[in-house]
Amino acid sequence: MTSALLCTVDARGVATLTLNRPAVHNAFDDALIAELTAALKRLGADPAVRVVMLAANGKSFSAGADLNWMRRMAGYSEAENRRDAEALAELMRTLNFLPKPTVAKVQGPAYAGGCGLIAGCDIAIAADTAKFAITEAKLGLIPAVISLYVIAAIGERAARRYFLTAESFDAAEAVRLGLIHVAVAPARLDVAAERICDLLVANGPAALTECKNLVHRVSRRPVDETIIADTADRIARIRASAEGREGIAAFLEKRKPVWKG
């Protein structure tokens, strides 16, 4: 039986999780949600893993929810639907707050929950031929669980349009909105994604985790005495850490820090 999720880790410590349901456009069901959540948690806790890249096989990145899963959900009670929604919410939270940098490599269309997965990653690289849409309203549904992450990526104003119209948009618009950072020709997608991974593994692993925490802490917070004190505490702690001392020493001594081998 073919696995719905493939996982590899290269010599740099870059782990690649590949959605592997090309026949159904990498749509996810309850089983894939559970498998992906468990894999992310495992990789997040593995000190040998430096970066996690989310990719997909086939023509599509992800079409969102699997139709057969949706058929089953149609017969669920509200409580059963709540449990399913909580499982997806746990996946999105795990991805968004993973202590390692995450990169989405988007080779094809991403719809509904597929856009949620992209928004939950720190960096997103897409083929310039990819299409995007937040399509839940077409089915009489709402993008509730993914909304936290998609709105953070594209902003409230754009979310009002694309949540309500469910229209598709191209990679150039996805870049303009902030859902995608870079769009490249399909033949250049692997190279562009690998370049980002090389940049990430060149940096201090603890610093990357702390950078992610910093963004989550200060985003959309008022600049008051509490947040100012918090940021001062953070940099003082990092400067005094073993990694911080090594990074500064390596710079002054004109050598590579230990995490770069």
Sheet strands side by side (includes 131-133): 110-111, 131-133, 168-170
Helix (H) or strand (E) holding 55: strand 51-56
CB 150 within 8 A of CB 119: yes
Q: In whole angstroms, what separates CA 173 from the centre of its chain? A: 19
Catalytic: which of 136, 194, 225, 246?
Answer: 136
**CB environment 60-95: b (16+ within 10 A), e (fewer):** bbbbbbbeebeeebeeeeeeeeeebeeebeebbebb
CB 133 within 8 A of CB 125: no
CB 177 within 8 A of CB 155: yes
**CB environment 214-236: b (16+ within 10 A), e (fewer):** beeeeeeeeeeeeeeeeeeebee
Distance, in Å, from the CA atom of 168 to the CA atom of 114, rounded to the nearest integer, reads 13
CB 92 within 8 A of CB 120: yes
Q: Is 136 a catalytic residue?
A: yes
β-strand 102-106 against 123-127: which pairing, if any? parallel
Residues annotated as catalytic are 136
